[in-house]
């Protein structure tokens, strides 16, 4: 059994992580910390976990965490980096579900997250935890930067095009729609039911923190700079991301369907749909799968890729568990076999 600690865990990625780990055959959940909820039972905050999680939140305490094999940090941005050095020194593996270790360049991090990075020397070492790209590096990592939700859906959708040099990489477009849980469990007016139901809006068109993350990921694969327009939208659903990707084909003759199928043939959590399909976000709700379809409307030179995930699973907690499974040599599917829940 793997001894597990969680820092934070009162947000949506936290409760989802708890739900997944509570059912994971090799997980031994030892510690969960929260400054705000210390002393409260997890199941009192999240009644769905009554009978599944017996732990109570405790005050953040690096010593208790240092006795774990792995610690998940499910806090707001900027917290994991204050714990990382000490945990790694104690021989604990760290999987950060926030953004602290996603960007390689400390200056870029500071620009987008507004504070200097607390341990820039770890940025290089941290492995970006997208298994479909970095599986071998994750296996050897001490510190995994779990990808953002939009970046997961967008990169998995674009990868086969970029890896095969098929499109104009200076003009990629990602029009992404997210359920409201993607914004977290924060008491902010614009996230209220009465504000976010029965309506739709774009946001962050001028610049969203996932834009540099996606670019960095695509550029790492491509080995050169990419141009990306990324427009996220807040959509009236709880979970789910639907990324609609557009690129101009420079090699129009390619058999895109085969290409996608081959690229992901051995991936346990990427499902390429039959030609002509339109994946729904609910088909992956509560599951760790990314479902993708590729289209070339009217046989023109624009390729359209549809990529859907559950933002809290493959876009956060599920991918973190997948990374844990890789880190510890477990079956990558352990604890993640849940089918999508429909309806």
Looking at residues 231 to 290 of the shown chain, list those that interact with a second copy (rule: CB under 8 A): 231, 233, 235-240, 242, 244, 246, 248, 271, 273, 276, 278-287, 289
The answer to whether 96 and 80 are in contact (CB under 8 A) is: yes
Instruction: Yes or no: say if 18 and 32 are a contact pair by the CB < 8 Å rule.
Output: yes
Identify the residue whose tokens are 């039972």.
Answer: 41
Q: With CB under 8 A as the contact rule, which of the stretches 50-58, 129-137, 144-152, 322-330 interacts with a second copy?
A: 50-58
For 287-300, give the DSSP string: S--EEEEEE-GGG-
Site size toward a second copy (CB under 8 A) is 86
CB-CB contact of 326 with 135 (8 Å): yes
- To a second copy, the closest distance from the beta carbon of 69 in angstroms equals 23
Q: Report, in Å, the least distance between residue 179 CB and a second copy.
A: 8
Q: Mask: binding to a second copy, 179-218, rule CB under 8 A, as x and -?
A: xxx---xxxxx-xxxxxxxxxxxxx-xxx-----------
Q: Is 111 in the site for a second copy (CB under 8 A)?
A: no
Q: How far is the CB of 118 from a second copy (least distance, A)?
A: 27
User: Among this protein's residues, is 119 annotated catalytic?
Assistant: no
> Mask 20-49, x = binds a second copy (CB under 8 A)?
--xx----------------------xxxx
Interface positions, 61-100, toward a second copy (CB under 8 A): none
Peptide bond into 217 cis (omega under 30): no
Choice between 284 and 327, CB closer to a second copy = 284
Classify each residue of 219-231 as buried b or exposed e, where b means 16 or more C-beta atoms within 10 Å of its C-beta: eeeeeeebebebb
Smallest separation, CB 241 to a second copy (Å): 9
Q: Minimum distance from CB of 99 to a second copy (Å)?
A: 19
Query: CA-to-CA distance for 147 and 319, rounded, in angstroms?
Result: 8
177 interacts with a second copy by CB under 8 A: yes
Residue 63 host element (H or E): helix 62-66
The DSSP element (H or E) to which 210 belongs, if any, is: helix 210-222
Q: How far apart are CA 3 and CA 10, in angstroms?
A: 20
Among 229, 250, 258, 262, the residue binding a second copy under the rule CB under 8 A is 229
Phi, psi of 256 (to 5 degrees): -65, -40
Catalytic positions, please?
Answer: 149
């Amino acid at each position: 059994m793997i001894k597990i600690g969680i820092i934070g865990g009162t947000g949506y990625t936290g409760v989802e992580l708890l739900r997944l780990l509570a059912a994971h055959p090799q997980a031994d959940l030892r510690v969960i910390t929260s400054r705000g909820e210390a002393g409260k039972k997890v199941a009192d905050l999240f009644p769905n976990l009554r009978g599944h999680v017996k732990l109570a939140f405790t005050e953040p305490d690096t010593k208790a965490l240092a006795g774990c094999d792995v610690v998940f940090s499910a806090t707001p941005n900027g917290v994991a980096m204050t714990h990382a050095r000490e945990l790694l020194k104690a021989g604990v593996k760290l999987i950060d579900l926030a953004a602290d270790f996603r960007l390689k360049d400390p200056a870029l991090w500071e620009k987008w997250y507004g504070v200097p990075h607390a341990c820039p020397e770890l940025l290089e070492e941290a492995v970006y935890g997208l298994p479909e790209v970095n599986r071998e590096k994750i296996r050897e990592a001490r510190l995994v930067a779990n990808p953002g939700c939009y970046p997961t859906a967008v990169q998995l959708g674009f990868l086969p095009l970029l890896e095969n040099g098929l499109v104009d990489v200076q003009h990629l477009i990602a029009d992404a729609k997210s359920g409201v849980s993607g914004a977290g469990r924060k008491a902010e007016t614009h996230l209220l039911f009465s504000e976010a139901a029965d309506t739709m809006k774009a946001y962050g068109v001028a610049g969203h923190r996932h834009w540099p993350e996606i670019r960095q990921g695509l550029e790492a694969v491509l080995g050169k700079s990419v141009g990306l327009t990324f427009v996220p939208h807040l959509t009236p659903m709880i979970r789910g991301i639907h990324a609609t990707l557009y690129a101009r084909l420079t090699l129009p003759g390619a058999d895109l369907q085969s290409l996608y199928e081959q690229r992901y043939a051995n991936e346990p959590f990427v499902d390429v749909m039959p030609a002509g399909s339109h994946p729904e976000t609910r088909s992956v709700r509560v599951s760790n799968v990314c479902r993708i379809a590729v289209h070339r409307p009217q046989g023109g030179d624009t390729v359209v890729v549809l990529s859907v995930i559950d933002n809290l699973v493959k876009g956060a907690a599920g991918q973190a568990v997948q990374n844990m499974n890789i880190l510890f040599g477990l079956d990558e599917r352990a604890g993640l076999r849940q089918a999508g829940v429909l309806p």
